[in-house]
Amino acid sequence: MSIRIFDPRFAAVAHGAGALQRLCSGAVWSEGPVWMHEDRSLLWSDIPNNRMLRWSADSGMTVWRDGVEFTNGHVREADGALLHCSHGLRAILRTRFGPGMQPIGEDEVLVSHYQGRRLNSPNDVVVKGDGSIWFTDPPYGILSNREGHQAESELGANHVFRFDPAKQALHIVSAFVEEPNGLAFSPDESVLYVSDTSAATRSDGSGHHHIVAFDVVGGQQLTNPRVFAVVEPGLADGLRVDGQGFVYTSSADSVQVYHPDGTRIGRIAVPEKVGNLVFGGDEGNELFICASTSLYRIALNTRGATA
């Protein structure tokens, strides 16, 4: 059994869960999964190969797009448009779809600069209920040419941003997290969880591998930052929240699960280093896991709070 229960509050999620399945393999570093319910497929990034992959039960794994400028995190907007975090363009992009889920026209660049300076390399993105777009901007796409284009930071720091598409306004909502990576709202959007993966770029042991929780005030501001959970082995890279508020996060050897009070309540063992994950499937109860070279899936007795 791939699931371990550390707290009885996780038992109901594990009850009747399916086996972990490896759906496909062949990537270098899998990231940024997003469920496309219209055609029951999953899209994700193979960042070093500069491509996006697609999996469906009917066709298996195929290349969805090449030359994608090192996209990382993805999320759907309320109208079905797909947002991309582009390391290469140092921007948030939008793809709109027509009949048959075919992209319409060229991708739109939503935001690429803050106060006239280029962003570092947007990494992960979520959309709040009011339509605002929240994303992290660490340096990973500009540190080398492996996952972007090597360059100096024009901002000189790493931030969590909020972009209001209606007003075309970009604001920094936090500089507390040293190297912000994955992020997710609680089901009622009163808390924002942000992973800090600064340990990945430091060899002296000074970096972080934890998740920070913020209170969301007035729907637009973050306050009261506190360490929610220290994740080991490895890093809390991507993360998702289910309908009851449990936090599912990546680590070096598993998906780890935390109660909203910060208690680690469960673990789903994965045979490769986990990068990111997303809930999907017809019922929203299938957890798709991007882990190094492969895509995995496990059915759980819960549903994702969002796709």
pLDDT at 189 over 70: yes
Residue bearing tokens 């941003």 = 161
Q: Residue 210: its pLDDT value, please?
A: 97
- 306 domain residue, yes or no: no
pLDDT at 203 over 80: no
Number of folded domains in the chain? 1
- 161 domain residue, yes or no: yes
Residue bearing tokens 């990537």 = 27
User: Which long-range contacts link 268-274 to residues 24+ away (Cβ below 8 Å)?
Assistant: 268/2, 268/3, 268/20, 268/298, 269/2, 269/3, 269/4, 269/20, 270/2, 270/20, 270/296, 271/22, 273/234, 274/234, 274/237, 274/238, 274/250
221 CB-near residues (< 8 Å, 6+ apart):
173
Residue 89 is classified by DSSP as: T
Domain that includes residue 223, residue range:
3-299
- 307 domain residue, yes or no: no
- 304 domain residue, yes or no: no
pTM above 0.85, yes or no: yes
C-alpha distances (whole Å) from 82 to each of 74, 92, 290 are 7, 10, 18
Confidence of residue 1 (pLDDT cuts 50, 70, 90): low
CA distance 17 to 121: 37
- 44 domain residue, yes or no: yes
Burial category of 157 from C-beta neighbours within 10 Å (exposed 0-12, middle 13-18, buried 19 and up) = exposed
Query: Average model confidence (pLDDT) for the chain?
Result: 97
CATH number at residue 278: 2.120.10.30
Pure H helices in the chain: 11-14
One-letter amino acid at 157 equals A
